[in-house]
Structure 1
């Protein structure tokens, strides 16, 4: 390996790995390290460079700093810049540490043994690579956090006396996505959406609440299948709805994941249950030669065991230390990127959102937020969020097609699924949860309250079975409050003109007022 001291860091550029900078500038931090060491890793969502202006600004995926921010053109200079201004990117750091000589890092750390940055780098090297540098335990220096909590969400942390740091990483070596503290996320957390939901529920009568909960549960189950482009029989929808209703009651382990897959798949005659024993991808096939056209390539089947163990441990030991929605996003989107099963991944991915929110007490008791319905309404945004990482992941994966039309990944990709930036996923999920609390929950309760009033008023005029009242309501709804000529001459031919007019007026007063 080349020595760090002899590495060449490039000067000003206009383009960086096919990405055009807002203006000619000097890549720094992770961008400089990725370029100098030839690291094949998913690029950070935002890269940094030094521009000529005395103003920091962001544009087109770049944050341009001023000349006074320019670090020394060295491993140490760019590493410290990255930790100071860009936060942790564990995937980049691990691949960087694999590319540098341990002796260079040891010398760098020994030169500034009290520096919090050096002790953080030291710990991260040993934590990520699971091997120690030839350095004695630190004897001085204030304990420093591995994750800067002003930059990224972190846990309380456990101390490492060897490095005099607090390991507040929100996960293990096997699975540790990170989320940046954006203004949007800070506002969402401060809004206390869970308290808002309990307030909404407190205004709903118990009878209406029970029916609202049942409807929202069914709505979420239907929507989760619809997202996958499926229209299964009603019994499968209800069976999956029942599973969602029990989310959070069972701890996650291998058996629980398999149980969920069985429920999702139903008929397993043509689908292999359990972890994949081959490659996997999301995408299409070329119509002429069946060549895979991946939009996302799943984790290698050889890595699934440790990745799933990492997911399970994250849920057991770390999800409870973060905001519930942030935890749900990290776990659920991490799962769907790994894509451990041949089929059923998407629905289980959305189930995991319910699992975390319910187990953390975010939902009011008995209420399932119809997150899948909110996702379905924003399906294009959902796809963009999924692709926000998949698009950066694909160029880093080497693969070849198999005879069966699958993909065979030939490079080591496990770290790409262990360590990813879940910030956009958390923001999107918060938006969906906010919509279900502020719109879906109160609107469905209001609808049921008004329907009860409609039913009661109809029954004071004409005695009819509940199913007939429901049919009358359906016809009125379909025809914007007017009973069609066909309905008046067939199903409701016995109603007088005056009764029809009264029912139409009742419907309009209750449902055409907003």
Structure 2
């Protein structure tokens, strides 16, 4: 506790092995000691048991988690019995913790949410609206691509709408089930709701079709309690001063490790990020940070972060293959999903938020402002073209690095004179001094 902070998983495993009288002896030896009282509180909290000890006397209360070591509220409800303040961010059914690292401290001090609002505060509302619409669609598409899926346009738009509405409803298991049905689309072949069988991720043996897991999910018998704990954690984050990106990483990655549903877990994992940030008011109003986009760009790092914990847990899970080629977990594993160190996950998510705020958002705004300037000047200085024609012209120019290809000159824009082509190319270069955002040219820019 003094040097490494609180590790709930280690303490839970330890408390199950030792004689409770050992804790009693520690407290009796130093009844006013801060570490003795914290240990006493954590034993009774984790084991849901009361030790043979009288309540602590009048002594200064201390927090259970040192907020200088780990991300936790500065204070919390006072336990008069132990004279400690319970500032744990979750409950005994879900409470991963994040260590304070130099990298996370740097991210927190950047105040990325405020920076995003500053960028948009200097931007015309119409450009903000169009940028928000595109970023929302882009996040939806990237989220499906991460899963290796190519949804129909209608399904992609529906999921984009669900992302845009994140944070508008209270977090609840029923709400997550509703979203699961939405993201799956055709639910005839998928059991909706909490799993009733084992869950795993990995490959299959080609001969037997038995699992070769890289990750084994929580046991079905533990899902109800784990999900109640995760939902309660999400609700508590709305009432504490813990950094929203940290809380979003804990909840979302905890959810994907639990893997409560038969299908749809990955996209719901990323939806939870949007939910936590929106409830905290972290992102600008009506603007979704498209965190799935940098996740897709950094897909190898994303997968490595997921594996970093799964690879530690897998050797500790005893399992066997079932007749239906699923997994059946044979030992107690619930602590692996409710108590884990989410520091690497928080660092990764914060890196994605930084990319969104410092790169994607300003570049999209700059592109739209450049496009509007290009459209206006083409109509004023070259030819009075319809919006759709100007949009097509800008696409051709962008695809060919600001030059109109021979094909475009002889077909779609054969009516432009050589002088007008030179004018258009010069206008494009002045309106787009730097390269436009990836993918920005492949949409109706005038009204996405």
TM-score of the alignment, normalized to the shorter chain, above 0.5: yes
Q: Report deviation, 1:289.
A: 2.2
SS of residue in 1 equivalent to 2:320 = strand
Alignment match, 1:442 = 362
Matched, 1:358 2:250: no
Residues matched between the structures, number: 432
Alignment match, 2:441 = none
SS of residue in 2 equivalent to 1:456 = helix
In 2, distance between residues paired with 1:511 and 1:464? 20
Q: Report deviation, 1:491.
A: 1.8
SS of residue in 1 equivalent to 2:214 = strand
Answer with 236-245 or 496-505: which moved more.
496-505
Q: Report deviation, 1:334.
A: 0.7
Q: Report deviation, 1:308.
A: 0.6
Alignment match, 1:492 = 413
Q: Is the 8 A contact 2:9 2:335 kept in 1?
A: yes
Matched, 1:90 2:8: yes
1:33-432 to 2 correspondences below 5 Å: 83-155=1-73, 156-321=75-240, 322-432=242-352
Q: Is the 8 A contact 1:275 1:342 kept in 2?
A: yes
In 2, distance between residues paired with 1:331 and 1:456? 46
Q: Tell me the alpha carbon deviations over residues 69-97 of structure 1, each in whole angstroms, 9 at most, x when there is no partner.
A: xxxxxxxxxxxxxx111111101101110
SS of residue in 2 equivalent to 1:283 = strand
SS of residue in 2 equivalent to 1:84 = coil
Answer with 279-288 or 210-219: which moved more.
279-288
Q: Is the 8 A contact 1:320 1:360 kept in 2?
A: no
Q: Tell me the alpha carbon deviations over residues 102-144 of structure 1, each in whole angstroms, 9 at most, x when there is no partner.
A: 1222223212222111111111111000011111112243212
Q: Is the 8 A contact 2:12 2:46 kept in 1?
A: yes
Q: Report deviation, 1:513.
A: 4.7
Q: Is the 8 A contact 2:238 2:279 kept in 1?
A: no
Q: Report deviation, 1:440.
A: 0.8
In 1, distance between residues paired with 2:193 and 2:281? 30
In 2, distance between residues paired with 1:493 and 1:403? 67
Unaligned runs of 5+ in 2: 436-448
In 1, distance between residues paired with 2:373 and 2:110? 34
Unaligned runs of 5+ in 1: 1-82
In 2, distance between residues paired with 1:513 and 1:326? 33
Equivalent position to 1:509, from 430, 443, 447: 430
Per the alignment, do residues 513 and 100 of structure 1 end up closer, same or farther by CA in structure 2, a change over 3 Å counting? closer
SS of residue in 1 equivalent to 2:2 = helix
Query: Structure 2 length as normaliser, TM-score?
Result: 0.94
In 1, distance between residues paired with 2:116 and 2:399? 31
Q: Is the 8 A contact 1:115 1:141 kept in 2?
A: no
Q: Which runs of 4+ in 1 moved over 3 A?
A: none
Q: Which of 1 and 2 has higher RCO (CA within 8 Å, sep 6+)?
A: 2
Matched, 1:482 2:403: yes
Q: Is the 8 A contact 1:481 1:507 kept in 2?
A: yes
**RMSD (CA atoms):** 1.3
**Structure with higher strand content:** 1
Alignment match, 2:439 = none
Answer with 106-115 or 448-457: which moved more.
106-115
In 2, distance between residues paired with 1:150 and 1:457? 55
Q: Tell me the alpha carbon deviations over residues 47-77 of structure 1, each in whole angstroms, 9 at most, x when there is no partner.
A: xxxxxxxxxxxxxxxxxxxxxxxxxxxxxxx
In 1, distance between residues paired with 2:154 and 2:291? 21
Q: Tell me the alpha carbon deviations over residues 274-328 of structure 1, each in whole angstroms, 9 at most, x when there is no partner.
A: 1111011111112222121111111111111001100111111245311111111
Q: Report deviation, 1:471.
A: 1.5
In 2, distance between residues paired with 1:414 and 1:158? 26
Query: Structure 1 length as normaliser, TM-score?
Result: 0.82
Q: Report deviation, 1:470.
A: 1.4
Q: Report deviation, 1:512.
A: 4.5
Q: Is the 8 A contact 2:249 2:342 kept in 1?
A: yes
Q: Is the 8 A contact 1:116 1:141 kept in 2?
A: no
